[in-house]
Structure 1
Amino acid sequence: MMWKIDQFNYSRRPSDTIQIGKLLLGGNQPVRVQSMANTDTNDVENSVAQCLRIVEAGGEMVRFTTQGVREAESIGKIHEALRDKGCEVPLVADIHFNANAADVAATNVEKVRINPGNYVGSIKIGDTSDYTAEEFELEYQKIRARFIPFLNICKANNTAIRIGVNHGSLSERMMNKYGDTSLGMVESCMEFLKICNEENFSNVVISMKTSNTVMMVHTVRLLVDRMEKEGLHFPLHLGVTEAGDGEDGRIKSAVGIGGLLADGIGDTIRVSLSEEPEAEIPVGRLLVSYVAGRGKQQPIVATEHVLHSRFEYSRRKTHAVGNIGGDNVPVVIAPAKGDFVTVPDYILSEGKVVSANGDQYSIYSPETIEELKKDTADIKFLKLTFGDLTPKVIGLITEKRDIVILLQTQHTNGVGEQRAFFHTLLNAACTVPVVLCRNYTEETLQYLQIKSAADLGVLFIDGFGDGILLENTGAISVEAVNSVAFGILQASRVRVTKTEFISCPGCGRTMFKLQHVIARVKAQTSHLKGLKIGIMGCVVNGPGEMADADYGYVGAGRGKVSLYKKKECLERNIPEDDAVNKLVELIKVNGDWHD
């Protein structure tokens, strides 16, 4: 029977079990957590030392950039040195552009990651015109002819592969036929899987990555649906590319990866932070363990709305009550007064919801509905859970157009229960606006960031929610809680309130001190509300992966930086010392700067 995401009850997708060295992946195995080194792969000593730190933090696989044959040989030396130290962690060679390097790496490590978008060169070099059907097939045959010898090497050496499709580096051929779309990413992957199947090669992991969390979630869901229809069950690697650093990186990763884990999808993950790679591991392990706990749940019984799509964004239609619902961006209700950097739309105060201009609104429950009916205020807040959604309550919130729901849940699988609430409203054609509410007891900010983003981000991606109310009874300030709430909305792409920095985690290709540069760029530009700025270590993924950004800062060589506006390079090979100031000038010249 074909597996399908259960919108309301957590069940992990059945995948094939594959072997990566001594590590089993997929099937009934736990979700594996991995990272990628940011050392120079040719610097064997430092690479080994960093790998050991990643493993000590709990990493179960470590990837190294492998630009060419020299690096493919160096990763073999790293592998040998680790084994001499008694470390058995599987190593992964990361290949871009150089198929010859992939062949060599496959003899030296347990897994090789290739990118279908640049595994072989185009047949139409320098020509971006539309492909004919014959040209499209000719390039496929070129791919096939180069890919099969690589698979044979992998077979002979028991080497696994990852087919890693990146949104920013789809081939020109796929872009011409499918556009810059999720479907293009899926077709790019399926083409390589077809060859693997024809060659009876099954030691394969798949990833579909982008810095856009909404597209990432929808693309992976689309791929899984396609594979299930074709009887394919390859394990999946999850990650949000260029998530950034600090709070933004953690929230963005938890929204994208956590959303798919909540669907039961994912066999291994990598949280891509612009920090030292060992810092990624605790975040990944927390995310995996938190979502896995949803399997121990009381069943949720609800009927999925037949027109709701899991593969594209469509916000649930609601009527507006004041500035909540309708075409308004989702609001933020802060749990108490505070000295906020980003001012919330409402705050809770003495049992009431207070607006920014001081208007006070009462909060009701199912037990006080009769009092709600007598209230003459223009907004009435009603606390409900899925269990409160009786026909009588549905009739009330459908008929009265001045109610806003504060949706609560205490269920082990809060995502599933809150989804059930929304699908029930959809089936009843009820357009009442709903604020998503969650209450936590965290003492550590990182725990709140990860858990709340994993719980609520996927609901906004699904098109649900007209607001957010986070409460936390642990030792975390109300200002920090408010920042997390706005961060979830931004990471879910439903409300932009600050500059978005799309920064890579760094690797051996990085041309500058990434964390230092990120800090400098943020110091100059973090006040530019709504602007997206890409900070990328090299040109391999840089221009493609930051395609969603308004401006880009990309390493062009040692001590050199190129600046982009969208996908167009406007300044080349600027000395690194001048690059941040030049970036500011570029933003000003194009009219996107404000003080």
Structure 2
Amino acid sequence: MSLDTKQDFSKLLYVADAYRYQRRKTRTVRVGNIGVGGNNPIRVQSMTTADTLDTDSTVAEAIRLVNVGCEIVRITTPTAKDAENLKNIRAALDAKGINVPLVADIHFNPNAAMEAARWADKVRINPGNFADAKRFAERDYTANEYRAELDKIEEKFAPLLERCKELGRSIRIGTNHGSLSDRIMNQFGDTPEGMVESALEFAEVARKYNFHDLIFSMKASNPKVMIQAYRLLAARLDERGWDYPLHLGVTEAGNGEDGRIKSAIGIGSLLEDGLGDTIRVSLTEDPELEIPVAVRLARRYSRIDGSILEKASATDETPTILPEAFTHLEASQTIPDRRDPYHFVRRSSRVVQVGSVRLGGENVPQVIALLTQTRLEELLKANRELPLAGSKKKTSTEAPTVPDIYVVDEFTSEIIELKKAQGDKLPLLAQVYEEKDAQIALAAGADAFMLALYSQSGTTNLAQVRLVAQLAVANDKPLFLQSVASGNALYSTVTSYDTPELDNLLEAAYTSREVGVKEIVLGLGLDSSARTIWSYRLLAAKLQELGWDYPIHLEAPGLKQGVVEDYLINDSIATGALLADGIGDSIQVMQGDNSPLTGEQQIQLAFNILQAAGARSSKAEFIACPSCGRTLFDLQSTTARIKAKTGHLVGVKIAIMGCIVNGLGELADADFGYMGGAPGKVNLFVGKTSVEKGVATEEAVDRLISIIKQHGRWIEPE
């Protein structure tokens, strides 16, 4: 029977400890010859995009996936005829000596599922449309009517359970945010609670029939929703003592850097907490391009077979996996985790003024970047945009290359003259280490001080903190306190964790408060995504315990080496995981000398992380599905055309969906929609409302722009 929709899950734990790593314990579920969960490594998988009835194309695509390290291949089976062709696909792969497990992807059609179970190693069903016809009807259910709907689920699901048990197949109960049933929508809305309940209804039936080869997923295009849903699923499974593995993915993540960042935030945030046993990075690109990204994600948390690393071109020096990096941390928890992990609530903070920029409060998180003399000369030599607040013109579909605030660690004559000429239009945050640095910065016109706290023999030089704080009070300047990782780490006296940087930061904040500083911003400079996430969580919890509402500045930890995707993944996880929980009022991406990203690219990465985390919009956002055999037009080229023409529309969200499976549901989170309706035809939407049907694909992009103009959301690119 349905649970009380007003039930409070906020106190239900999704992890034993929010401040250290422990992989969630699960049973092993076999998918063909591959074990998922238990002590197995995190598995990587993808999905073919060819027509399933085109055996040769599907087989060729599966082979390309295997050749880059894919361990499990999913194939769409919209009809029983498609499902039957899995027999031929399996035979062709076997003939080539390729025994990769196959998964049948089922929507709407229990008959196709029954046929697919004969040939596939696993059957994925969508609980939102397996037994329920989607009519988008609003109605109230009596207890008897709701019970009857659950009986209908059992009636349609039980035969599949029996067949899968007989043939040794596994089942993934894969909820999609965009395709919840009418019954769930009416009872819970399109919420994480609804997503989880939708899956648990099917799980109850499976357990009734003593079927336990189950894997679960909770996919959404919005990383915040996806993170919340997986956490709640893990909590409710653990509450019942159910140890089923989890398949992670952000659906409709898009392409390029945006798709990788969004996937890293969603998938990586959960892997950092020990949730997840197999992953798929869904990109609107050729499927084989998903696997190297997935492997670089997975190798941070479990040991990946060398042959897979080689196939995925990920044999460069791999990071120490997280379970082995922090084995010394204690399990006890002295500061409660004060987040509501299942609902987004931004942390409350006071406003701090830095020049013309307001940071904290209800303001969007601000981007901060380093301005050196070399960087200034590069800008001037290239006749590039000067780093002035408010100068971020939209001339392309890319994220801005100009931050909100610049950090200066050396005030050259050119920087001083520029500051004099521009005043508040050039907000400058002076990096200082002691009182004499602050005096120099003050004379140069700095708008605020950023005091770096390096512990010496386990303590911070509080005398210097006091002197700089006094200077800040006397000149009405905000004070950023940034505690930086040190080689002289001592065990913390504030918590049972090895977090000396946090202790030093709080000591400096106490001292600054005593002196009378009111505008304080607190930040940490740490050496890994895990330490960054745990320590910032602890900082937010401690500030709440103290009743302090100071803004928090996030600094991405960077890497010592790696390819571009490693840097995107690392910084997206470290800061995006916090932003998705409402922690962070400013962000800085600072990478070492070996970084493959230029200074401008690092600034763009910060803006793109904010966008993907749903914290700030600086360009149009696209919800673009990765394509499959159901897709009714060329998603990659269509997405590229739409992005090229509309990417400059800041704050506009456009869904580009290949078919109806998730299309209508994901449109709820979009302003405008472009969805395949029939071969060669497209339906156009405003929100979830269809405004034009059957538009020829060659005309559809221009018609979409016309609709955007009609609704007052269009601006001409500059």
TM category (shorter chain) comes to over 0.9
Residue 516 of structure 2 is aligned to residue 396 of structure 1: no
What is the one-letter code of the residue matched to 1:588?
K
- Per-residue CA deviations over 1:412-438 (Å, capped at 9, x if unaligned) read 722223322222222222222111112
1:169–1:541 contact (8 Å) kept in structure 2: yes
The Cα shift of 1:411 comes to 4.9
Q: Is the Cα–Cα contact under 8 Å of residues 499 and 530 in structure 1 kept in the other structure?
A: yes
3-state DSSP class of the match of 1:381?
strand
Residues 1:561 and 2:682 are matched in the alignment: yes
- Would you say the 8 A contact 2:675–2:683 is kept in 1? yes
- Residues in 2 aligned to 1:411 and 1:106: alpha-carbon distance in whole angstroms: 43
Pairing partner for 2:322 from 291, 294, 298: 294
Query: Residue 329 of structure 1 corresponds to which residue in structure 2?
Result: 364
Report the secondary structure of 1:62's partner residue.
strand
Q: 2:580 corresponds to which residue?
A: 461
After the TM superposition, which residues 316-395 of structure 1 pair with which residues of structure 2 at under 5 Å, given as runs? 316-322=347-353, 323-336=358-371, 337=375, 339=384, 342=400, 343-351=402-410, 356-359=425-428, 360=446, 361-366=448-453, 367=461, 368-375=464-471, 376-385=475-484, 386-388=499-501, 389-390=503-504, 392-395=507-510
Contact 1:320 1:326 in 2 (8 A): yes
Contact kept, 8 Å, 1:346 with 1:356, in 2: the verdict is no
User: One-letter code of the match for 1:465?
Assistant: G
2:702 pairs with 1:581: yes
Distance across 1 between alignment mates of 2:213 and 2:16:
24
User: Are 2:145 and 1:135 equivalent residues in the alignment?
Assistant: yes
Give yes or no for the alignment of 1:162 onto 2:277: no
Query: Considering only CA atoms, is the larger Rg found in Structure 1 or Structure 2?
Result: 2
Relative to structure 1, the CA distance from residue 557 to residue 573 in structure 2 (aligned partners, 3 Å threshold; closer, same or farther) is same
Are 1:335 and 1:470, in contact at CA under 8 Å, matched by a contact in 2? no
Q: What TM-score does the superposition give when structure 1 sets the normalisation length? A: 0.96
Range moving further from structure 2, 439-448 or 219-228:
439-448
Give the partner amino acid of 1:114.
I
The yes-or-no answer on 1:253 pairing with 2:263 is yes
Residue in 2 that maps onto 1:525: 646
Q: Secondary structure at the match of 1:280?
A: helix
Alignment of 1:107-506 (within 5 A): 107-122=118-133, 127-292=137-302, 293-295=321-323, 296-297=325-326, 298-299=328-329, 303-305=334-336, 307-322=338-353, 323-336=358-371, 337=375, 339=384, 342=400, 343-351=402-410, 356-359=425-428, 360=446, 361-366=448-453, 367=461, 368-375=464-471, 376-385=475-484, 386-388=499-501, 389-390=503-504, 392-396=507-511, 400-411=517-528, 413-414=530-531, 415-440=533-558, 441-442=560-561, 444-473=563-592, 474-506=595-627
* Cα distance in structure 2, aligned partners of 1:412 and 1:477: 21
Residues 404, 427 of structure 2: 8 Å contact kept: no
2: distance between equivalents of 1:594 and 1:393?
Answer: 47
Q: Answer with 84-93 or 339-348: which moved more.
A: 339-348
Between stretches 17-26 and 347-356, larger displacement belongs to 347-356
- For residue 324 of structure 1, give the secondary structure of its aligned residue in structure 2: strand
1:120-174 per-residue CA deviation (whole Å, 9 max, x = no partner) reads 234x968532222211111110110111011001011111110000111110011
Alignment partners' CA distance in 2, 1:560 and 1:398: 64
Q: Give 1:397 shift.
A: 5.1
**Deviation by residue 1:473-496 (Cα, 9 ceiling, x = unmatched):** 223211111111111111111111
Residue 37 of structure 2 corresponds to: 26
3-state DSSP of counterpart to 2:352: coil
| Percent of aligned positions that are identical | 41
1:411–1:65 distance in 2 versus 1, CA, 3 Å: closer
Tell me the SS of whatever aligns to 2:668: coil
CA contact (8 A) 2:557 2:591 kept: yes
Q: Which moved more, 1:564-573 or 1:310-319?
A: 310-319
| C-alpha distance in 1 between matches for 2:507 and 2:137 | 64
Looking at structure 2, the residues matched to 305 and 466 of structure 1 have their Cα atoms a distance apart, in angstroms, of: 22
CA RMSD of aligned residues (A): 2.0
Contact 1:394 1:430 in 2 (8 A): no
Counterpart CA distance in 2 for 1:469 and 1:58 is: 34
Deviation at 1:516, TM superposition (A): 0.7
Q: Which amino acid aligns with 2:653?
A: K
Q: Which runs of 5+ in 2 are unaligned?
A: 1-12, 303-320, 386-398, 429-445, 454-460, 485-498
CA distance in 2, matches of 1:160, 1:475: 42
The DSSP-based 3-state class of the residue aligned with 2:360 is coil
In structure 2, the CA distance between the partners of 1:253 and 1:103, relative to structure 1 (3 Å rule), is same
Counterpart of 2:313 in structure 1 is none
Deviation at 1:356, TM superposition (A): 4.7
What's 2:15 paired with? 4
- Which residue identity does 1:526 align to in structure 2? G
Helix, strand or coil at the partner of 1:472: coil
- In structure 2, distance between residues paired with 1:335 and 1:288: 31
Q: Distance in 1 between matches of 2:562 and 2:210?
A: 50
State the shift of 1:540 in Å.
2.3
Q: What CA deviation, in whole Å up to 9, does each residue of 1:75-118 have, x standing for no partner?
A: 22111111111111100000010110000000101001000110
| CA deviation after TM superposition for structure 1 residue 463, in Å | 1.7
TM-score, with structure 2 as normaliser: 0.80
Counterpart residue identity of residue 332, structure 1: V
Which blocks of at least 5 consecutive residues in structure 1 are unaligned? none
For 1:405 and 1:127, the matched residues in 2 are separated by 49
